[in-house]
A = this chain, B = another copy of it.
Amino acid sequence: MTSGRAQLLRDMVRIRVVEETLADYYRDEQQMRTPTHFSIGQEATAVGVCAATTSQDLVFTAHRSHAPYLAKGGDLKAMVAELYGKQAGCAHGRGGSIHLVDRAVGFGGSAAILGEMIPVAVGAAWAFARSGRPRAVATFFGDGATEEGVFAESLNLASVHRVPVVFVCENNLYSISSPIGARQPAGSTIQDRAEAAGVTAARVDGNDVFAVYEAAQRALRHCREGNGPYLLELATYRWREHVGPGFDHGQDHGYRPVRETEAWMARCPIVRATEILREQHPDIDRTVAEWSAQYGDEIQRAVVYAKEQPFPDVDALLDGAYHPVPR
């Protein structure tokens, strides 16, 4: 069972299992000392988009970085070691959860200042376009980041220079505890803002991995064919608290109705993809269970590995801030 569609489901299952396991360790042992933004519930956006990229394409993200990193093929052990602050981490423990990177697979980096990576992706894509090769760049960010001026500046810049970049907005309706309605006007969408900047755009159900995948293929083709940038607005929802391992809707955090969260959880992207695939693959549930077990093992091993790894050498604290000064 290795059809393309099944692979999308499989990738989501892997990310879910990895993140849930990490969340447990994070909460129970508090050994990962890095603020961590889980994508649990949002796996379809990362998987659908990254699956549509080639190994030559680059992906950048904001703080909610694990899922795109893994979906793009980032090294799991290096990610977990990074969360544990170890030298074996993908950023040698300097960066943490919010600064994942794996250039070998085309994961260009994640950053935690809202909107900061959006123009970076435009610049990277522009560099690609200059080289004449049909490479593209995708950049993930949340609904909240679209309020940063740099988002509008980047749309405009990419549009004027017809840069092959896909802006991927994971609209999960919240910026920490602020609902989108308190931050953006009703009656207009992020898609609208992109289109008004001359950027082709589409809104897609971000919990439907197949729909995301197809939309991302269209978007990337559009870019590769020299038609300029594309924006995908993907409606989705995070299940856990903004930062950290816990659920918060059951607690008295008051910012989102329990019913809303539960309704979105009922629209779990993994469950949905499973249901869709069940017609063709009647034994899909067993397969998913096998995958879960397999990835459960993988992440447990990655955690063991990460814990065993040494911390960075304190004497090397300054290393890498600068290239050696020629004197």
Contacts and interface: CB of A to CB of B under 8 A. Distances in A.
Interface of A: 147-153, 156, 159-160, 182-188, 192-193, 195-199
A150 B149 CA distance: 5
Query: DSSP class of A's interface residues: helix, strand, loop or mixed?
Result: helix
A257 to B, nearest CB: 21
A16 B10 CA distance: 71
A195 to B, nearest CB: 7
B197 A188 contact: yes
A185 B198 CA distance: 6
B156 A184 contact: yes
Contacts of A156: 147, 183-185
Contacts of A187: 198
Contacts of A195: 188, 192, 196
Contact of A151 (B152, B188, B198): B152
A142 B187 CA distance: 27
A197 B197 CA distance: 11
A126 to B, nearest CB: 15
Contacts of A159: 185
Contacts of A192: 195-196
A242 to B, nearest CB: 20
Nearest to A190: B196
Contacts of A149: 148-153
Nearest to A150: B149
A83 B186 CA distance: 45
A160 B182 CA distance: 7
A153 B182 CA distance: 14
A206 to B, nearest CB: 20
A174 B199 CA distance: 22
A188 to B, nearest CB: 5
Contacts of A198: 184-188
Nearest to A229: B185
A160 B184 CA distance: 6
Nearest to A189: B196
A182 to B, nearest CB: 7
Nearest to A153: B149
A160 B183 contact: yes
A150 B147 CA distance: 10
A214 B80 CA distance: 63
A81 to B, nearest CB: 36
B148 A153 contact: yes
